[in-house]
Structure formats: structure tokens, C-alpha cells
Structure 1
């Protein structure tokens, strides 16, 4: 019964997505826009050991790199954004209008560059080379290990603990148990250990890319790919933000960033446009945190749009998801499509985390009070002090024993006169 319910969940949408958005009125009252997208088409990140196409010569670029197809996908997405926001975003680039952030990965940085080429082709005095309809636009990034906003990979002890606890729960142990034979089959023929949803998705992703490039897959794949692997690969994208606590620590800083921009925009103290270049996991984490994730593998160039509008003296937030040609409305469970900004902020208040709050909450605490880092330091210092005291006591004891021994050797008994 558990697995029947789970499979039903996989295929039933959690958000309403049957309304198309026209271009005729999409600039009405716009104040600020936050765009978050996945990079474009890429080669496999890491071929499996028995992969017949693990030789780089089969691929147009290196492993994990953006392909020409991926560049075109984002160039066209940039053109689509230009058309959608033609009456909102000036055609001439200005650093006062847009801020672009990317994870520190080649394919996301290059996707942002290709996107901006479509969004801001140089015009007028911005044309600096008659033979090149492109202009440089700054893209900001930081090391993945230092990025808790977009890459979401900055170390967090509490998150790791909660995720480990989730994966050891009855639900996920049963999932792994149910897929034991599938894991064993995939491990045998792929040559790599497939032991959970994450490793299954990695393999599924590689096979998907090879099929996109019309490469003939090995015979062993026909019985499992895509049908048997697909639902579990799609479910894997829900794991990172499966609970509210996980979602808070994983996506809280990004939502805080967006809400901060929107708050500043209501006082005309912020840019119009914010662009975030990320990954399929970025898209899944955002939708899942909003409780609006229909289990799927977010496709290349999948895009989430957060639009802040001012209508009749009030502010509203629209959310749209573009994973095909037409963006679809995302309607939150407790808010209409035109969600009042105050209500939107209230709904996300339990999720959002400032970078400083995030660091504090990421610390594991002993008995829920003392951070383990503090406890470890305290224990280390205490043990060091005790060790020195013990060594000091031993040293003093040895010295005292030595003194007593020497004093006995130096003592001379006076002769008895009678003797």
C-alpha cells in the first residue's frame, strides 16, 4: 500500500498548471522579477565504468560541459525573456537594471552568458564590434563550498544529520528494499554500485543523455530504461527538500534573497531583474519548498519566474514554471495566483533564513542547547587542562620521591660512644 500511494503521488501534480500566460498583459504593474533556470544541454558528468561511450571522443565537448545545443537553448530563452519583458526591461543593458548570479560551474556560467546574449544584444553606443552582436555582462559567483544561496552546497552539519535520518527512515528503507533487485541488476551491468535513489538517478541521467544523442544503448538497458528507472529517478529530486526542516536549511537562504529583493523593490531600492543560473536540483528544491513539485526531472533550461506586481496600490506575487514552450501558473495551496506580497512573505517566513541565521541553525547542538562545535572545543580544552594537571602531578610526585630518596642516602648516623 505504501508504494501504491507513493507511485500515485509521483504522477499527480501538486500545483495547478493548466493555464497559459499570454504576452499581452504580462508587463502590467511589474516592479521586479526573479528568474531561476537550469543550465542547457550538457554531456554526461561522469560515465559509468562499463559505459561503451565513456571515451571522450564520442562527445562534442568534455564531460559535464555545455554543448552547442545547450548554448542555443539559453540564447533562445534569453530572447524569450526579452519578448516577455519587452515593456518592462530596457533593451539597453545597465548594471542598475539587472543582477546575474551563477553557481561556480562551467555549464551554468556559460548558460548565463548565452542567455544574456539573447536578452541584451548590444544596441546603439553599446555596439563595440560591428562583427559581433554580443556584449560582456558581469556574472557573479562564489565557490560551491562557500555558497549556501544558489549552489546550496556549503557544509551544514544539521542538514547532513537530518538527511541521514530521513534516508534511514522506514519509508526510504522500504524503497531501497523494494528496489533491491533493480539496484543489483544495474550494479552488475553498469559496473558501479547502485544502492539508493541518488546513484540510480546518476545512471538514469547518463543513459538519458546518450539516448538524446541517438547513441545505441547496451542490450541490458532495454528491460529497465527508461520505464523502471524513471519514477525512482524523478522521486530522487524530492529528497533534498523532502521535509520542511530540510527545505529550510537547503533553500531558505535563496528565498531570503528573493524576498529581500522584493522588499527593497517596493521602496524603489533594488534592481528590476534578478537572474539565477543553477541546476535541475535548484529547480526541484525551489518547487518542493513551495510544496509545488510534481515529481519529474527538470529539463534543460527549465525556468521559474517570480514576478512582483503593483496593482491598485497593493503588491502581488505571481509564480510561473516554464519547462516547455509556455509558462504555467503555480498556485500555492494557501494563496491565489495573484498572491498578496504580505501573504507570500508570511507563507515563506518559516522557510527563509538569512546567511547568518543559516550558519547558526546549521550547528548541531548537544541536548538542543550547546552547539557541538562549542561542546567539542570545551571538551578538548577540559581534557587538555586535565592532561596537564595529571602530568604535573606525576612530575611533582617523581620529584618528591627523588628528594626523599636522596635525603635518606645523605643521612649519617653518629657513632655511639658506648660502642
Structure 2
């Protein structure tokens, strides 16, 4: 994920909507903090992968791809500054204090790896149907009052989930400098220290909770809430990763690179974690990275998946359901086969069966139950008058109130 940034937009009653005064680089742009975060990550990657990289950039070493957004491009530049620090060759050119490294990007209309869901009609239709599910409607009914009140305070005519991101100027920013067990109150204090922008008084009953869970549910859990949505969102990128990995093993990868870097967004990280069935339901901090690594042990090939969600801590080794943490490559390929699209263009134009009921699948269903306290026990949940009695949600549970 890109590093710390300014809010991408402001709400109508936002006291900090003066872009020139509060966000001198512009809305959505990478901040100085974000630059530092990715420089640290790049330095970490240099130590971790030094044995497979030249000191000076070589086209056969590294390939970098970003989304068509300024902050992911700037994050990649900062990351590469840490990954490829100046060398003796640079010192011979004192006016050039960095290594110039190509960064590749594709415009949004043609991006099939990072912005692919924006151009996939089938994904849009499936997401619409999922939002008609009992589970989704239950959450919307349960939070209807909160959404109405927040909209009125913020000046919205209808609720926008982005309000949470604006209010905390992204909670994940604080997570990189605090313990992973930091409480919301501690995080809010840290944000004030970073930006010195106290939140309006009206936000206290709603921020960080219940807006945090509503944002998590709507923006992330729902977006990859079924196997089909995962197949169309993270599936194409995972397909490219597996293809490059198999080519590396077979000796057919050309150029024979050792490192592929994709600079993207929090939704891309969550979609990949959900697709691999290892998402823990926690918002993705800035400059987080998923490390999918090929390992050779006694002439056998394995895949490990790690999650680095802090610039200060080592990555966490993850274990995919159905495989060991050190997962044989063949097993990894077989395990992920159901969520790898054969041909994305063809699948995105396929018609979706109308009238079929869609429900959240693993891991989204588990997240609803274990993280958000939503336990479906009936299929008749569209009536807002019955939702509290039909679902195990009550005012005593600290999920939405």
C-alpha cells in the first residue's frame, strides 16, 4: 500500500477543507511521512533481498508496477530510493544523488491488475447482488440511525463511508508508529500529534466507532465478500504472480528477474488477503506489504506468504488454510486455482444469473461473525423492525454503537 497521504476529499462541513492551508501538496497526495515510510520499507527490502539484487539497478533484477495514481507512484519512488541507495557510480556524478529506476503504470481503463474491478461489468453486478443479501441489509438497517445522524453533522445529503477516512486522516497512519495492540484512543492522540487537527465535537459518539466498523464492512469486507468477487478482484494479480513464479522455476522467465513490486492501495491488499483466506479484519496501515516469496529447499520449491504491516516490525508469516506456512509450490497453485480467472476479459462480460441469492463466503462470513458480531440465524432480515431480534446484535455489544 502507498504511504501516508492527505485525505482524498473533504466533507461539506469539514473545518479542514482549505487545501492550501492544511494540505499543501494537494488532496490525496503522498506526505513527507509517507515518503519516509516507504524509504524505510525499501531499505528493509534491500536487506532482505540483497542476495538476489545488484547494488546498481539492473533490468534483470527488479520490475515495478503502480496504479495510475500519484501517491502510489510517489510511494514506489521513495521505496526504490531505499532499495537502491546511491552507489560509487552515483558519487562520480555529485549532482545526481539517486538511482533512476523505471516504474511502469497502465491507465485505469486498461489496468487488469490493480484497477481491474472498475472495468469489470460482472464484478459490478455481483457486488450489487451481494448488497441485496440478508447479511448486508442487516448491517445497513442496524446502522441506519448512525448513518443519518453522521450525514446531517457532516453536511451530506446521503451517507458516505469515506467520512471515516477523512475524520481520522487515516487511522492506519498511526498504526505504523504504535504497537499493533494500540487502542483507538491512543491512535487518535497520536494522529493529533502528527497533524495537530482536533476533530469536531460532534464526532465523539461516532469516531472511531461505530464508523470504523461500518467503513471496514462497506469498503473492504463487502468488496471481496464472495469467492467470485475475489476471483475478479485479486485473482488477476495472483495469476500473474503465479505465472512469473512458475516461469522462474522452469527457467523460462525473461528477463530472469528476482523481484516484482506492485505499488497499490489498501483495497488491493485486503482483496489479496481475503482471496488467500488470511485477512484478520484489521484496516491496512500505510506502507503495508504482502510478501509472496519463492523458496528452494533441497531442490524442492515452496511459497511463503508474509504480511508486513509496519515499517518498524518484521513481517508476520501467514499460514494459508489447507497448507503449511512453508507451502509446496504445487500445493499453492492447486489451492488457489478456484480463484484464478482463465480469461479476465471473457469472465467480466459473462452474464450473472438473475434472481439467485448471494451471501458472504469465507473469510468474509467469519469476519462478520467474529469481528463485527453479525451471526445470521434466519433468511428474513429485510424488515428493519426485526433485525435486532433475528441477529445476535444488541446495544450491549460494542460493534455499532
Flag whether TM exceeds 0.5 (same fold): yes
How far apart are the structure 2 equivalents of 1:292 and 1:366? 27
How far apart are the structure 2 equivalents of 1:230 and 1:102? 27
Who is 1:164 aligned against?
A: 128
Among 217, 235, 248, which residue is 1:265 paired with? 248
CA contact (8 A) 1:60 1:67 kept: no
Shift of 1:151: 2.4
How far apart are the structure 1 equivalents of 2:316 and 2:323? 16
Who is 2:104 aligned against?
A: 140
Structure of higher CA gyration radius: 1
Who is 2:202 aligned against?
A: 220
Among 260, 265, 269, which residue is 1:283 paired with? 269
CA contact (8 A) 1:145 1:153 kept: no
How far apart are the structure 1 equivalents of 2:318 and 2:299? 23
Judged with a 3 Å threshold, the aligned counterparts in structure 2 of structure 1 residues 226 and 366 are, in CA distance, closer, same or farther, namely closer
Q: Does residue 1:53 correspond to 2:35, yes or no?
A: no
How far apart are the structure 2 equivalents of 1:39 and 1:332? 25
Who is 1:351 aligned against?
A: 339
Shift of 1:364: 3.2
Judged with a 3 Å threshold, the aligned counterparts in structure 2 of structure 1 residues 193 and 89 are, in CA distance, closer, same or farther, namely farther
CA contact (8 A) 1:77 1:301 kept: yes
Who is 1:342 aligned against?
A: 330
How far apart are the structure 2 equivalents of 1:335 and 1:309? 15
Partner secondary structure for residue 166 of structure 2:
helix
Gaps of 5+ in 1: 1-37, 369-419
Among 216, 221, 228, which residue is 1:234 paired with? 216
Instruction: Judge which range, 102-111 or 80-89, deviates more.
Output: 80-89
Shift of 1:366: 8.1
| Number of corresponding residues | 325
Who is 2:317 aligned against?
A: 329
CA contact (8 A) 1:102 1:141 kept: yes
Who is 2:39 aligned against?
A: 75
Gaps of 5+ in 2: 171-187, 355-401
Instruction: For 1:32-181, list aligned pairs within 5 A.
Output: 38-56=1-19, 57-127=21-91, 129-181=93-145
Who is 1:21 aligned against?
A: none
CA contact (8 A) 1:308 1:318 kept: yes
TM-score with structure 1 setting the length: 0.75
Judged with a 3 Å threshold, the aligned counterparts in structure 2 of structure 1 residues 61 and 315 are, in CA distance, closer, same or farther, namely same
CA contact (8 A) 1:248 1:353 kept: yes
CA contact (8 A) 2:291 2:307 kept: yes
Partner secondary structure for residue 116 of structure 2:
coil
CA contact (8 A) 1:147 1:153 kept: no
Shift of 1:154: 4.2
How far apart are the structure 2 equivalents of 1:223 and 1:117? 42
Shift of 1:163: 0.4
RMSD: 1.7
Shift of 1:193: 4.2
How far apart are the structure 2 equivalents of 1:133 and 1:267? 38
Deviations 1:77-111 (A, max 9, x none): 10111112222322221011110000010000000
How far apart are the structure 1 equivalents of 2:265 and 2:91? 32
